[in-house]
Amino acid sequence: MTFQNIETLSWIGDRHGWLRMIDQTLLPTELREIDCRQVETVWEAIKKLRVRGAPAIGIAAAYGVCVGLQTLPQEVDFNVFRTRLNEVVDYLASSRPTAVNLFWALNRMKAKAESFYDSKNISEIRDALFSEAKMIHEEDRRICRAIGKFGQELVRDGDTFLTHCNAGGLATADYGTALAVFFAATEMGKKISVYADETRPLLQGSRLTAWELMQRGIDVTLICDSMAATVMKQGKINGVVVGADRIAANGDTANKIGTYSVAIAARTHRVPFYVAAPVSTFDLTLTDGNSIPIEERDAEEICNGFGKQTAPQGVKVYNPAFDITPAELITGIITEHGIISPVKRENIAKIVQL
């Protein structure tokens, strides 16, 4: 089949334009784009998972800075501009706590502005920020392709892989991190199959990953999260590839809740378990995964998912959005600079600092 690429995120117009994105909460039944002309709309889109996936969140935040500065007149006092920039960055940073790419992109935007502060030329700073946001966007396209290139080397013709959550084009600027491995392998002529966990409670696997793989013509089988260990035991899985939202200096990895369970099952059944992520997802300031902040989301996602009550009124709910997979359970981390294996602190430092 012919795949028609639909960009998850795009900027419309010049620096005075706006951010357009796919509203991922409506997939797979409706493909609709929304326009973000105010920073509040960008914040809401990140918070409510209209845009999700660590790289895509970072790109949206970078463009969100440009949108947020549009409330100021073209001619404005430098101190007023700097105050507004700081407000916008802090506001966007409050949207979600776990994906490090959000803070990485915002810090990069702030640093770019600060590099022009001596001139106090507001127009020049605005241009620089817009260029930086576009650069972050374009860099991620190249990163996705590089991750796919290295990752497909791990795939043999006829292999069947399992993945959890969604780490495809919808989560990035191009064709993903984890799913980039499958897309690149297919482009190399390899015939592969994929099992996709549904990924409770928001069903990113069934709503998004299965949709993306079908769009690309890749053989995909959807399973409930609780079936992953069984299909491994039955010998159906040759490897697991997942994405990541933050990786500590020792390789401990935060990803969508349920990933840790998949990693344990993979170790038990001697199935290789890989993480695919750009180096921007590494947070070398954190010694290990114990320091990674874990977002807890509303109980409604479990008790009234997609508008249907599925639990007793008033029941207590624990709803962490992510879990931590220890480095010792990870066979390798696929980055745009190569594959880190074994996953050890010194090997990570070498790759991340390239």
Note the pLDDT tens digit of each residue in 295-310.
999 999 999 999 999 9
- pLDDT at residue 5, as a whole number: 60
- pLDDT at residue 4, as a whole number: 53
- pLDDT at residue 228, as a whole number: 98
Residues lower than pLDDT 70 in the chain: 1-6
Dump pLDDT digits (tens) for 20-30. Answer: 999 999 999 99
Task: Mark whether 252 is an active-site residue.
Answer: no
Q: Which domains does the chain have, with CATH numbers?
A: 9-144 (1.20.120.420), 149-352 (3.40.50.10470)
**Which pTM value belongs to this model?**
0.93
Q: With beta carbons less than 8 A apart as the criterion, state whether 194 and 218 touch.
A: yes
Active-site residue, selected from the candidate residues 140, 245, 283, 323? 245
